[in-house]
Structure 1
Amino acid sequence: MNNLICQNDIKMLIATLRTIYATQFNKNFPAEGKNAIPMNMVEQIASNTLAGVMPHQFQRGLVLLSTSGKTFMPSFAEFRTLCIGQDWWNAEKAWVKACEYTKIIEHKAVEIEKDVFQFQEITTIAKFALDQVSLLIADGEMHRAKSEFMSVYSEYLAEAQLKGRVQEWYQEPRQLTWDNDQEKQVEHVAVSNEEAQRHLNDLMAKWNLKNRKIHKPQELKPKAKPLNTPITNEWPDPFEQPDAYLKQCELDGCVVPATIRKQLGGGHV
């Protein structure tokens, strides 16, 4: 037994069906014979079928059942539709509403009470199912889109009813709008012709290269060295110090030809 409607509610439903449709009830659920169905089993089937139905929905279904005037006894599934049909769209109706929703160019909210507006164009579950098949619709595969939409919608509808949720309208996200009041607060103050002409002349002067003051770049000049500046790292004179010269060539890796080496009279290479 679910936690939404109690066992007494199920017994009330069966009693109402047996009273209004006595002949059909006994034919569908015989109490005797080889096709007899125990009443506790009938109650269990009814309880399972009505899982997720709220008490107020159940009471409305009983009223509609008693006042419908139909000559054929509804099944438990049809009675469930009587209970929740006004609270939830079935899959077929949800698909029709979803198709209508895709054709809306400008979404408009309705005033449900004073200064309270609400969008009532599509339900949250229908919008979710529509988003799942939007690519199929864009590709023109409407038959497949409808099939998958109804499958997804029916699955989430059953889950929502089992959780005792009520149908909710999908609310369009708020769009950013320009604040007209803020725009009105900013007032443009015109300047005089003389001031406008002065600003124009200043601008033209900046654009005119001839009137620009171009700073001359700094000129770099080499510093003069005094004449008596000593020379550092001076090599030995090859004629005055031939041995020292040849030794310095050897340290720096310079090869001195044999002819010059003989002329200098040194023994270093």
Structure 2
Amino acid sequence: MNHLVCRDDVHELIATLRTLYASQFNKNFPADGKNSIPMQVVEERVAKAMIGVTSEQFQRGLLLLSTSGNKFMPSFADFRTMCIGEDWWNAQKAWIKACDYTKIMKHQPTELPDGTFQYREITKLAKFALDQVRHYINDGEMYRAKDEFIRLYEAYVMEAQIKGRVQEWYQEPKTLTWNNEAEEYRPATNEEAQKHLEELKKKLNVKNRAVPQPQKLKATPKQQPVETYWPDPFDNPQAYLHKCAVDGVKVPIEIRRQFEG
């Protein structure tokens, strides 16, 4: 795990700046007078500027500061850039690399000194930020895509630095077969392509293929209506009374008297 800058590192940076740029340091941070700045305040400013910087990055920045030969004292923000400048792309460089990445037709891994291969075309954070603005690029809004990319990328880098992470390369996903084994693309030969074409033609040839006949539908015969009408009691009272007697239907006495006279 990468260790972050501690209080001793802050004191070491201030001592180095006071040694290399004594007059400029005293002018920027006077110890006496009405504009004096307490050393505790200076240490707090340095500590805030070093948030997310690891001890390894700090020592490298300190070495660059001591050997740069610059006549002007760098600000705390400039020193932070000296510490992490080699580990992280800045937003402008990340945007240029992202644009170049979108133009790559075939990704090529780079061979490392140990004989392994690794993709080094774009970093994980730059790829993640690119995915967030890809819809702007597809719509042709390149200026908006660039502004949004830079805003997101700077926020992601700051968050990663605070967590003590280092820049990592984005690795292209491998193509997997049905049994999850990596498969390298191999173009088909002319003989194989011709064989597959002939097989496809046979499948598309309808003349030599049995086509199932559609089911024939038969009309259902129309049922004849059942004529079981009762006699009209007003036209044939006697037949109506007989039908009621056969079916066991009770006829009111008053109606029966009228029908029988």
Q: Same fold (TM over 0.5)?
A: yes
Check 1:104–1:33 CA distance in 2 against 1; reply closer, same or farther (3 A cut): same
- Residue in 2 that maps onto 1:174: 174
Aligned equivalents of 2:100, 2:147: Cα separation in 1 = 17
In 1, are the aligned partners of 2:123 and 2:169 still within 8 Å (CA)? Answer: yes
- Residue in 2 that maps onto 1:77: 77
Check 1:114–1:10 CA distance in 2 against 1; reply closer, same or farther (3 A cut): closer
Aligned equivalents of 1:86, 1:146: Cα separation in 2 = 23
- Residue in 2 that maps onto 1:200: none
- Residue in 1 that maps onto 2:147: 147
The aligned runs of 1:103-114 (5 Å cut-off) are: 103-114=103-114
Aligned equivalents of 1:180, 1:41: Cα separation in 2 = 61
- Residue in 2 that maps onto 1:159: 159
The aligned runs of 1:221-260 (5 Å cut-off) are: 250-251=245-246
- Residue in 1 that maps onto 2:216: none
Paired residue secondary structure (1:133): helix
**In the TM superposition, what is the alpha-carbon distance from 1:114 to its structure 2 partner?**
3.9
Aligned equivalents of 1:136, 1:56: Cα separation in 2 = 38
Q: Which sits farther off after the overlay, 15-24 or 58-67?
A: 15-24
**In the TM superposition, what is the alpha-carbon distance from 1:250 to its structure 2 partner?**
4.8
- Residue in 1 that maps onto 2:221: none
Aligned-residue identity in percent:
60
Residue by residue over 1:19-43, the C-alpha shift from the partner in whole angstroms, topping out at 9 and shown as x without a partner, is: 1111111111111111111111101
In 1, are the aligned partners of 2:98 and 2:122 still within 8 Å (CA)? Answer: yes
Check 1:179–1:33 CA distance in 2 against 1; reply closer, same or farther (3 A cut): closer
- Residue in 1 that maps onto 2:4: 4
Check 1:251–1:148 CA distance in 2 against 1; reply closer, same or farther (3 A cut): farther
AA of the residue aligned to 2:104? I
Aligned equivalents of 1:251, 1:180: Cα separation in 2 = 93
Q: How many residues end up aligned between the 2 structures? A: 200
**In the TM superposition, what is the alpha-carbon distance from 1:175 to its structure 2 partner?**
2.2
In 1, are the aligned partners of 2:54 and 2:164 still within 8 Å (CA)? Answer: yes
Aligned equivalents of 1:117, 1:85: Cα separation in 2 = 25
**In the TM superposition, what is the alpha-carbon distance from 1:102 to its structure 2 partner?**
1.0
Paired residue secondary structure (2:112): strand
- Residue in 2 that maps onto 1:201: none
**In the TM superposition, what is the alpha-carbon distance from 1:179 to its structure 2 partner?**
7.1
- Residue in 2 that maps onto 1:65: 65
AA of the residue aligned to 2:135? L
Aligned equivalents of 2:4, 2:246: Cα separation in 1 = 108
Residue by residue over 1:156-210, the C-alpha shift from the partner in whole angstroms, topping out at 9 and shown as x without a partner, is: 11110000011111111112476799x9xxxxxxxxxxxxxxxxxxxx9x98xxx
Aligned equivalents of 2:119, 2:84: Cα separation in 1 = 21
Aligned equivalents of 1:37, 1:180: Cα separation in 2 = 66
- Residue in 2 that maps onto 1:120: 120
In 1, are the aligned partners of 2:175 and 2:184 still within 8 Å (CA)? Answer: no
**In the TM superposition, what is the alpha-carbon distance from 1:86 to its structure 2 partner?**
0.6
Instruction: Name which one, 1 or 2, has greater alpha-carbon Rg.
Output: 1
- Residue in 1 that maps onto 2:251: none
Check 1:14–1:179 CA distance in 2 against 1; reply closer, same or farther (3 A cut): closer
The aligned runs of 1:124-135 (5 Å cut-off) are: 124-135=124-135
Find out whether 1:137 has 2:153 as its counterpart. Answer: no
For structure 1, the 5+ residue unaligned runs are 184-203, 208-245, 254-266
In 1, are the aligned partners of 2:10 and 2:47 still within 8 Å (CA)? Answer: yes
- Residue in 2 that maps onto 1:56: 56
**In the TM superposition, what is the alpha-carbon distance from 1:96 to its structure 2 partner?**
1.2
**In the TM superposition, what is the alpha-carbon distance from 1:251 to its structure 2 partner?**
3.8
